[in-house]
Homo-oligomer: A and B are copies of this chain.
Amino acid sequence: MAFDVDEALLAAVNVFWAKGYDGASVKDLTEAMGINSPSLYGVFGDKRSLYLKAIERYASNDACAPLVAFETEPEIAAAVRAFMEAAIGYATEHESGARGCFLTSCVSTSAGEVEGVEPLLRQAIEETDARLAARFDKEKAKGCLPEDFPSLERAKLMFDLRQGHVFRARAGLERKSMTGDLDHRVRMVLA
């Protein structure tokens, strides 16, 4: 039976997320993916290529969940809050059991060692910044935010705050230790 490539790739994300690139063996990967190593090499190329594909998949899907929350909530302050809450929830209660964020908590480690990783990280950051800023620009066009509202800087601010939550979650801190100041943070973003 031909295996479901996307399902296998998602399984690979979860292994890399739990163990990092060097800590995840091809045996770990093939077991989680439910395929044999010749199939892994046949379809994905090699371990590093699989890793790059895993990063791309994560960056274009999972990492976007808080973005989607931000984009779909109609009122902007509620949208900022939704982003933060989604990010915290995602980092503390992922269905795979992994904590933090694959990109920040694992892929970062290999940025200087595995060729091709750093550009992907940079791209993911820049695209997230841009996507967050685009929502702010929409609010400005509607007159809900001032014309001189610094969309990109506030987008970066939201992204940076998320990284703090991610690190805390990875270190095992409780969700509720991260939710006490969200009102202030939302105000900070929209000030």
Contacts and interface: CB of A to CB of B under 8 A. Distances in A.
Interface of A: 18-23, 98-100, 103-106, 108-113, 118, 121-122, 124-125, 150, 153-154, 156-157, 159-168, 170-173, 178, 180-181, 184-185, 187-188, 191
Contacts of A113: 18-20, 23
Contact of A156 (B22, B103, B171, B181): B181
Nearest to A18: B112
A154 B109 CA distance: 28
Copy tally for this chain in the complex stands at 2
10 contacts: A20-B20, A20-B22, A98-B112, A106-B109, A108-B109, A109-B109, A122-B172, A150-B181, A160-B164, A160-B167
A47 to B, nearest CB: 13
B160 A165 contact: yes
B173 A163 contact: no
Contacts of A161: 157, 160-161, 164
A145 B124 CA distance: 39
A111 B172 contact: yes
Nearest to A106: B109
B167 A153 contact: no
A124 B110 CA distance: 22
B108 A167 contact: yes
B181 A157 contact: yes
B164 A156 contact: yes
Nearest to A25: B22
A113 B19 CA distance: 6
A163 B153 contact: no
